[in-house]
Amino acid sequence: METRGPTEPPQGPAPSLWPLGFAIGITVALVGLVIGSWSAVAVGGVLLLAFGFLWARDVATGMQEPPAVADEAPGGPETVTDVAAGGPAPAELEDEEIERFPRNVFLELSTLGLGAAIGGLVTLPVIVMAVGDPFVHDPVFEVDIGSIEDFPEGEFMIATFFIDRAAGEVSRRTAYVRYNGPAENGEPSFTIVSNRCVHLGCPVQVNGLVLTNQKKETNEGAATLVEVTPTAAASGFGCPCHGGQYDTEGNRVAGPPVRALDRFRFDIRDGRLVLLAPYSVAEVEGQGADAVIKAYPLVNPSVHVDGPEALFYPFEAP
């Protein structure tokens, strides 16, 4: 003979550390996305999946039966007679009275599902912003900035142009262009430096006089709207934001920048200078047409492209 209490729903799973591990996995993955380390993203993803599976398993299968509690009746504890001992059989429940799916389980799973949906909606934009490049790379483009005769030898000219004129000023770019004369192969040589500081991306300025009154358009009516402004006695470039300084070849000479200024590739077509995609530079040895450029694919500001420091930047954010 045994005593039983009234029918009670099963209790929830016992406390565990799975939610903590799940949260750690999300944190590691997000940090990896922010710093551009795919190895950290992989570790975080493994932790997230492993602890998420264990947590979900506990929720789905870890329901505990409540302890038996005897109901006290006015005449003493209610007893149920064992059928095998010859006592009366217990009353059979109708099919409608059998609880097929406990309500508390349904509510728990519904709450978890709703929370997961809301969490996904909240974290998805964060993940997209984390993966996205904070300094948007310029798309592949070609910009005709004028005849090579518009660029006097040995003097820097400031060329500004639109990548997408419909987008307005947000697509304007600036390059510092110097004609170096003919190279060894007889082709015209140009030094074309980007004005994006390689510290944090601020606009670099010419250390010298800018002759704004002589500014002119070199391809009037074109979608790129190129304007060229001459300079006088340019002695290098400087960043007004954090004090970065560069020489006339774009090499860092002072301040926080980690490498030389980025440069633009170029082509000469029918006597006109055409800018091509930019690239990053570790260092420039020599000057002008004799310069030896240590070129690398375009990367973000503050990213080292050579030396032992580059080991800390194995991947670039897409």
Q: Looking at beta carbons, which pairs linking 97-105 to residues 24 or more positions away fall under 8 Å?
A: 99/7, 99/9, 102/9, 102/10, 102/63, 103/9, 104/9, 104/10, 104/12, 105/9, 105/10, 105/63
Full strand arrangement of the beta sheet holding 205-206:
205-206, 237-238, 245-246, 252-254
14: Cβ contacts below 8 Å, ≥ 6 apart: 58, 62, 64
Q: How far apart are CA 222 and CA 56, in angstroms?
A: 60
In this structure, the answer to whether residues 109 and 27 fall within a common structural domain is yes
**Which residues, listed in sequence order, are joined to residue 14 by a DSSP beta bridge?**
none
Q: What is the DSSP letter of 3?
A: -
DSSP run (H or E) holding 20: helix 18-35
Contacts of 224 (CB under 8 A, 6+ apart): 143, 144, 161, 162, 163, 165
Contacts of 309 (CB under 8 A, 6+ apart): 258
Same domain, 175 and 226: yes
Say if CB 302 and CB 117 are below 8 A apart. Answer: no
Q: Which residue, of 80, 102, 131, is where some domain finishes?
A: 131
Q: Identify the domain boundary among 131, 166, 194.
A: 131
Can you say whether residue 227 is alpha, beta or left, with left for phi > 0 and alpha for psi between -120 and 50 degrees?
A: beta
Q: How many domains does the chain have?
A: 2
The verdict on 103 and 56 lying in the same domain is: yes
**Ordered per-residue pLDDT tens for the chain, 318 residues:** 445 455 555 555 666 778 888 888 888 888 877 666 778 888 888 888 888 888 888 777 755 555 555 555 555 555 545 545 555 555 555 555 555 556 677 777 777 777 777 777 777 766 666 555 544 455 557 888 888 888 888 899 999 988 777 777 777 889 999 999 887 778 889 999 999 999 999 999 999 888 888 888 776 655 667 888 888 877 899 999 999 999 999 999 999 999 999 999 999 998 889 999 899 999 999 988 888 999 999 888 988 888 887 877 776 665
Range of the domain at 127: 18-131
For residue 160, report the phi and psi dihedrals to the nearest 5 degrees.
-115, 145
* 1 belongs to a structural domain: no
pLDDT at 45: 86
Instruction: Based on the fold, state whether residues 125 and 229 are members of the same structural domain.
Output: no
The answer to whether residue 10 sits within a structural domain is no
The tokens describing 218, both together, are 């070199």
Residue 277 counted as domain residue: yes
159/265 same-domain check:
yes
Tokens describing residue 13: 């799973």
54 lies in a domain?
Answer: yes
Q: Which of 85, 111, 131 is the last residue of a domain?
A: 131
- pLDDT of the residue at 135: 47
Q: Determine, yes or no, domain membership for 5.
A: no
Torsion of CA 150, 151, 155, 156, to 10 degrees: 100
Are residues 155 and 81 part of one domain?
A: no
117 and 182 inside one domain: no
- Looking up residue 287, the CATH number of its domain turns out to be 2.102.10.10
Q: Are residues 230 and 299 in the same domain?
A: yes
Residue 197: both structure tokens together: 């500081």
Residue 168 lies in a domain: yes
Same domain, 160 and 247: yes
Residues 83, 198, single domain; the answer is: no
Is the residue at 137 inside a domain? no
Please indicate, yes or no, if residue 13 is contained in any of the structural domains. Answer: no
State the pTM of this model.
0.57
User: Do 216 and 126 fall into the same domain?
Assistant: no
My answer on whether 150 and 290 are in the same domain is yes
DSSP state at residue 213: G
